[in-house]
Structure 1
Amino acid sequence: MTRSPAATRRSRHLGGAGAVVRRRLLVAGPVLVATSMGMFALGAASPIDPAQQYAGAAAFTADPENLAQIRANWGVDDPLPVQYARWVTNLLRGDLGWSTSRHEPVTSVIAARAGWTLLLVGTALALVLVASLLLGSLAAYRRGGLFDRGLRAVAYAIASMPVFWLGLAAIALFALALGWLPAGGLTDITATRTSWGDVAHHLVLPVVVLAVSQVPWFVLFVRDTVAESLRDDHVLAARARGLPGRTVLFGHALRTGLLPFLTLIGTHLPELVGGAILVETVFSLPGLGAVTVQAALGSDFPLLAAITVITTTVVLAANLVTDLAYAAADPRVRLDG
């Protein structure tokens, strides 16, 4: 039975996707190993005794034999290669270690807070995509006009502001001066239970601040790509046929400019995660960002290492998904090339 040309092209495309996944996995392995080794080396180089850190203030009056027993149980005095191999083995089993600053398993710390971070990052990313596609397209359509020049000036100004400064300014204006929104947390102080309405009200400022801090580069990118697409032959032909400007802009030029936009999302994901860490700290949100800062201040290397490895894995996976989505959106892209 002879296969149709469309089926043959689809089979080749799927085969190319498998090749991309295999190549990315070959790259991800060394990256994750290097990341884990770097974090483990930082923890090993720390002058802080994990046993004393675990004991806290009681370490000053604790029996040295008890502290020595804790070190022996944790294998702190074993050779570094042995410690690293044991840590990686436990990591592969799902045992991320014990948080010395929070006195609970690292798995429990991450599981209790990852959802809030994902909610913050996901909502902010959705807001960034909608705002950048709309504003960037309008600026490209009115390229050189007052709206275009004003939007670029605002974008460059916002891009020069640190995200924590934007957060503090938003709190000072909308929470303290105007009293429109809460300054932080997920619920009111007097609340006896957590409701989604209360959470949504408290997340308005953090989400908007995180989105505003990331949107300038997306807006400028969309503006440039759509402006270039407006000069393509098929867009000029659509204009010549007398199609409305809205149809030409969103139905032809924007669709062409969306392809490179997918790549931008993957490359800016680490910056979005980094901004979420600062936003959660400023607004006292119980996500992974605030825990990461607390772990760094408390030299909690098991928690820091686990969060770093997980974040690296998520970024690598997001870049892979971005490449596959780009190829799916444009069949002309050869994945096996």
Structure 2
Amino acid sequence: MARMAGRRALLAVPVLLAVTFGVFAIAAASPFDPVTAYAGGAGLTASQETLDQLRANLGVDQPLAARWWHWLTGALTGDLGQSTSLRQPVAQVIGERIGWSALLCGLAFAVAVVLGTALGVLAARRRGGLLDRAVTSVSYALEAAPPFWLGLLAIWLFALKLDVLPAGGLTDTGTETATAGQIATHALLPALVLAVSQLPWFVLYVRQGVGDALEEDPVRGARARGLRERTILVRHALRSGLLPVLTLIGSRVPELITGALLVETVFSWPGVASATVQAATGVDFPLLAALTVLATAAVLAGNLLSDLLYGLADPRVAFDG
């Protein structure tokens, strides 16, 4: 495990370098001017000399390779640059928001895994039955539903019609201090929406894996020996049927990040994903570069976690990736 983790860490270095260089290459080729976005309305009346000085202050007058190398060397020492859209150091922007994003994504992923596993097992026990058809039909429908649409629908139903949950934000209106109760109440709806957007894949994977495992010869032999159906399901079918789900954990990380970006924007959740939208609309390439590296690192870590879990669950698999 340690050797595989070390190899993956070494392979991640060129990947992250390529990703950061790609961000700056896109910035150089982009028709959007970060100086104009930074100056706002004042840039319309500013002189060319002022704009040139501002361009030099922001460092966007340098060649592509020089800008990328300057950012990279600074990032290695902890200096990720200055966010032009939020007027804060990039490290401070990420530090203030990453905890809220981790909370939202962690809650959503846990709900999706637990609920998806339970529904998938129930559907697999009677494949072709009424419950199986209902669960799979809803899962396929949710696969086609964009997270932002689910978020707007949830706000309309639970916040506007039923008035049982807040529509967004982190605290109640007029409150400056965030209490644990307020955070839990405000996190419930966006976490559930994000979980529902990830739920169908876990349901369908578990249903397929457990259903196939129930038809294997060892399970038939266990039934012939008179073992109870619950024992067969827990000790035999679940053990082999859930192995494909472990690989799904890593592959869902990119979708989880994308879904979080949309959900945080809809619910005004103060996380990293919502800052990505501000960085994109404000042509804030230093912040975009740091957030892209963070998202890439999360995807690489998710894939590594999947491989490690699969190897631990199935001793026949060697840690040679």
Counterparts in 2 of 1:144 and 1:48: CA distance versus 1, 3 Å: closer
What is the 5 A alignment of 1:133-172? 133-172=117-156
**Is residue 271 of structure 2 the alignment partner of residue 325 of structure 1?**
no
Counterparts in 2 of 1:75 and 1:201: CA distance versus 1, 3 Å: closer
Task: Please tell me the residue identity of whatever aligns with 1:87.
Answer: W
The Cα offsets for residues 81-130 of structure 1, whole Å up to 9 and x where unpaired, read as 11211111112111111111111111111111111110010000000111
TM-score, structure 2 length as denominator? 0.94
**Is residue 266 of structure 2 the alignment partner of residue 282 of structure 1?**
yes
Contact 2:12 2:300 survives alignment (8 Å): yes
What is the 5 A alignment of 1:92-131? 92-131=76-115
Which protein is bigger by CA-based radius of gyration? 1
The Cα offsets for residues 213-239 of structure 1, whole Å up to 9 and x where unpaired, read as 111111001000001111223322322
**Is residue 29 of structure 2 the alignment partner of residue 54 of structure 1?**
no
Unaligned runs of 5+ in 2: none
| 2:213 paired residue among 216, 229, 241 | 229
Aligned residues: percent identity?
57
Task: Please tell me the residue identity of whatever aligns with 1:287.
Answer: G
Contact 1:54 1:103 survives alignment (8 Å): no
Q: CA deviation at 1:60?
A: 4.1
The count of residues paired between Structure 1 and Structure 2 equals: 321
Alpha-carbon distance in structure 1 between the residues aligned to 2:66 and 2:5: 32
Alpha-carbon distance in structure 2 between the residues aligned to 1:203 and 1:24: 34
Task: Please tell me the residue identity of whatever aligns with 1:222.
Answer: V
What residue in structure 1 maps to residue 287 of structure 2?
Answer: 303
Task: Please tell me the residue identity of whatever aligns with 2:168.
Answer: G
Counterparts in 2 of 1:162 and 1:48: CA distance versus 1, 3 Å: closer
Unaligned runs of 5+ in 1: 1-16
The Cα offsets for residues 301-322 of structure 1, whole Å up to 9 and x where unpaired, read as 1111110111101110121121
| 1:247 paired residue among 206, 216, 231 | 231
| 2:188 paired residue among 204, 217, 223 | 204
Alpha-carbon distance in structure 2 between the residues aligned to 1:89 and 1:139: 53
Counterparts in 2 of 1:74 and 1:193: CA distance versus 1, 3 Å: closer
| 1:184 paired residue among 168, 182, 205 | 168
Alpha-carbon distance in structure 1 between the residues aligned to 2:50 and 2:234: 69
The Cα offsets for residues 124-152 of structure 1, whole Å up to 9 and x where unpaired, read as 00001111111101111111111001111
SS of residue paired to 2:127 = coil
Q: CA deviation at 1:21?
A: 2.8
The Cα offsets for residues 18-48 of structure 1, whole Å up to 9 and x where unpaired, read as 4423442343233212211111012122344
Contact 1:24 1:320 survives alignment (8 Å): yes
What residue in structure 2 maps to residue 79 of structure 1?
Answer: 63
**Is residue 44 of structure 2 the alignment partner of residue 68 of structure 1?**
no
TM-score, structure 1 length as denominator? 0.90
Alpha-carbon distance in structure 1 between the residues aligned to 2:170 and 2:194: 16
Task: Please tell me the residue identity of whatever aligns with 2:221.
Answer: A
Contact 1:125 1:211 survives alignment (8 Å): yes
Alpha-carbon distance in structure 2 between the residues aligned to 1:162 and 1:74: 37
